[in-house]
């Protein structure tokens, strides 16, 4: 069954609970209590409410035949630009889990980002889960459960699709449009995320070819300068060298390598042209 018929808000009302939702401003009819959207025409309903508790959200992405590091290079920039950190899950196929920082609209942000990821990478299989967190919650346990559950949901997905837990519709205040996954308890196909009438705004990076749409490169000037210095030694002395860029997934190792390669691209072209003029052949 689709979630279009309205889903309760996450959070408490300022006024006492009403017996029915406000009249729809478009058609004038009433939906079920606390519905976020009109069950008859889909128009957003405005409720008086206070902020709800923070939400933890996780998006697991896998691509058949690719490692978690390769998945990171495909869609990592998109998730990282919205503040996510990463966890690799060893399973078949290898899975990259993006963990979104806790805030009230984290489920909406994660859902919209997951949809953008499938648009950018049609081979991706994505699972998404979220959970409310209170001051009494065991946050470490919640994170681990979200990692495991999102990866499990992703294994049900087909390439280019998203399987969400049944927690996603209520935690997006009914904005997530889903359909049940037949034969899988608690799993739904995520189809779309509707606009909440301005209550939540998520600005996703524009869709650009690989290597574009990245966040500003900052905080890595020293490492980039060191790589360039090593390249200068190789160029001047005419000998090879090996440099390894290591670090935990999500800290920007791939981005550093990408920026370094881009910064020396013109120099490499000039060297190749010089070798060609001198009649030299590159070594195999």
Domain count along the chain: 3
Please give the average per-residue pLDDT across 188-204, as a whole number: 67
Tell me, what's the pLDDT at 187? 94
Q: Do 115 and 241 sit in the same domain of this protein?
A: no
User: pLDDT confidence of 79, banded at 50, 70, 90?
Assistant: very high
Q: Do 137 and 176 sit in the same domain of this protein?
A: yes
Domain around 266: 221-277
pLDDT: which is higher, 147 or 223: 147
Cut 0.85: pTM above it: no
Q: Is residue 170 part of a domain?
A: yes
Please give the average per-residue pLDDT across 242-252, as a whole number: 64
Q: pLDDT by residue (tens digit) across 52-74?
A: 688 999 999 999 988 888 899 88
Q: Do 66 and 183 sit in the same domain of this protein?
A: yes
182, 29 in Cβ contact below 8 A?
no
User: pLDDT confidence of 97, banded at 50, 70, 90?
Assistant: very high
Q: Do 182 and 252 sit in the same domain of this protein?
A: no
Share of the chain above pLDDT 90, in %: 32
């Amino acid at each position: 069954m689709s979630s279009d018929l309205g889903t309760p808000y996450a959070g408490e009302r300022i006024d006492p609970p009403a017996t029915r939702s406000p009249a729809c401003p478009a058609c004038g009819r009433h939906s079920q209590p606390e519905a976020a959207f009109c069950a008859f025409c889909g128009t957003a309903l405005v409720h008086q409410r206070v902020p709800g508790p923070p939400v933890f959200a996780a998006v697991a992405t896998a691509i058949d035949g690719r490692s978690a590091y390769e998945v990171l290079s495909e869609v990592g920039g998109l998730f990282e630009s919205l503040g996510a950190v990463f966890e690799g899950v060893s399973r078949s196929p290898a899975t990259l889990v993006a963990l979104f920082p806790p805030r009230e609209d984290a489920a909406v942000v994660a859902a919209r980002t997951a949809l953008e990821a499938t648009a950018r990478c049609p081979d991706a299989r994505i699972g998404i889960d979220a959970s409310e967190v209170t001051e009494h919650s065991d946050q470490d346990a919640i994170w681990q459960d979200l990692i495991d559950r999102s990866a499990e949901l992703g294994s049900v997905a087909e390439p280019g699709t998203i399987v969400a837990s049944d927690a996603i519709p209520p935690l997006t205040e009914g904005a997530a449009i889903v359909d049940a996954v037949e034969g899988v308890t608690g799993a739904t196909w995520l189809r779309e995320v509707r606009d909440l009438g301005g209550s939540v705004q998520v600005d996703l990076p524009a869709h650009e070819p690989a290597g574009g749409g990245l966040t500003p490169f900052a905080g890595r000037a020293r490492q980039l300068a060191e790589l360039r210095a090593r390249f200068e030694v190789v160029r001047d002395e005419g000998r090879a060298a090996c440099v390894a860029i290591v670090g935990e997934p999500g800290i920007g190792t791939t981005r550093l390598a990408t920026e370094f390669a881009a910064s020396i691209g013109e120099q490499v072209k000039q060297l190749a042209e010089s070798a060609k003029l001198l009649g030299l052949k590159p070594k195999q």
